[in-house]
Amino acid sequence: MTQAVVTSGSSELVPSPGHLGSGHDTNTGVSNAKLGIWLFISSEALFFGAFISTYFLYRGRDTQFLKGPTPDKLLNIPFTSVTSFILLMSSLTMVLALAAIQRGDHRRLRIWLLATCIFGATFVGGQVYEFTEFYRHGLHLGTNMFGTTFFVLTGLHGAHVTMGIIWLLLVWGRSMQGRLPSEKSEAVEIAGLYWHFVDIVWIFIFTAIYLIPTH
């Protein structure tokens, strides 16, 4: 609630200096929008956690696992490591975009937002190429348990990255139209929180699928 003080010799109410420009809409000290994105990220973390746990629970135990190609014959770790590095670098450009709008540099904001989108699109393109190669070598969604878990888990993550790219392009469009002043930098911050989340999730997925061998 905004507090007010009465100025000397006047009955005019003046907002308390400690509350000017706070913009806090909740008792938690953060805006409703930021609280909403944190709740959304928490639910998505549980969502991906369940899928990753399921992958560990069933991998290598499927009686149909010998039907079709196995991970050691398909996974191209060097290629995916490069695309993963590109995706993780996009977190840096996202941080630079937020820093740019906070200091009022809208040109660099748009540059770093586009760079983030390009890095994300490169990662998704790498996933599409990998999916195509796997399909060409006989691994489909229903070939075996590995095919099912791999396509569902990485495909869901790729969909989240794609949604993040669309979100950032919308933010970029607002900036191009002059509808994103420095006072509304929270819009970039919230988009950045989502983007950092999908980057962090990929670290766990990449480790689980590509780096931990299947026994």
Q: Which residues contact 183 (CB under 8 A, 6 or more apart)?
A: none
Given pLDDT bands bounded at 50, 70 and 90, which one contains residue 212? confident
pLDDT at 69: 73
Domains, in order of start, for the chain = 32-211 (1.20.120.80)
pLDDT at 18: 41
Given pLDDT bands bounded at 50, 70 and 90, which one contains residue 45? very high
Report pLDDT digits (tens) over 34-44: 999 999 999 99
The tokens for 161 are 């990255």
- pTM for this model (two decimals): 0.83
Cα 166 to Cα 124: distance, rounded to the nearest angstrom: 13
Given pLDDT bands bounded at 50, 70 and 90, which one contains residue 71? confident
Report pLDDT digits (tens) over 3-14: 444 444 444 444
pLDDT surpasses 90 at 31: no
Token pair 């990929």 in the structure block, residue: 202
Given pLDDT bands bounded at 50, 70 and 90, which one contains residue 19? very low
pLDDT surpasses 90 at 112: yes
pLDDT surpasses 60 at 27: yes
Q: Round to the nearest angstrom and report the end-to-end CA distance of the chain.
A: 59
Cα 114 to Cα 107: distance, rounded to the nearest angstrom: 11
For 26-51, what is the mean pLDDT? 88
Report pLDDT digits (tens) over 93-103: 999 999 999 99
Given pLDDT bands bounded at 50, 70 and 90, which one contains residue 59? confident
pLDDT at 60: 66
Helix/strand/coil (H, E, C) string of the chain? CCCEEECCCCCCEEECHHHCCCCCCCCCCCCHHHHHHHHHHHHHHHHHHHHHHHHHHHCCCCCCCCCCCCHHHHCCHHHHHHHHHHHHHHHHHHHHHHHHHHCCCHHHHHHHHHHHHHHHHHHHHHHHHHHHHHHHCCCCCCCCHHHHHHHHHHHHHHHHHHHHHHHHHHHHHHHHCCCCCHHHCHHHHHHHHHHHHHHHHHHHHHHHHHHCCCC
pLDDT at 61: 66
pLDDT at 2: 45
Surface-to-core class of residue 198, CB atoms within 10 Å of its CB (0-12 exposed, 13-18 middle, 19+ buried): buried
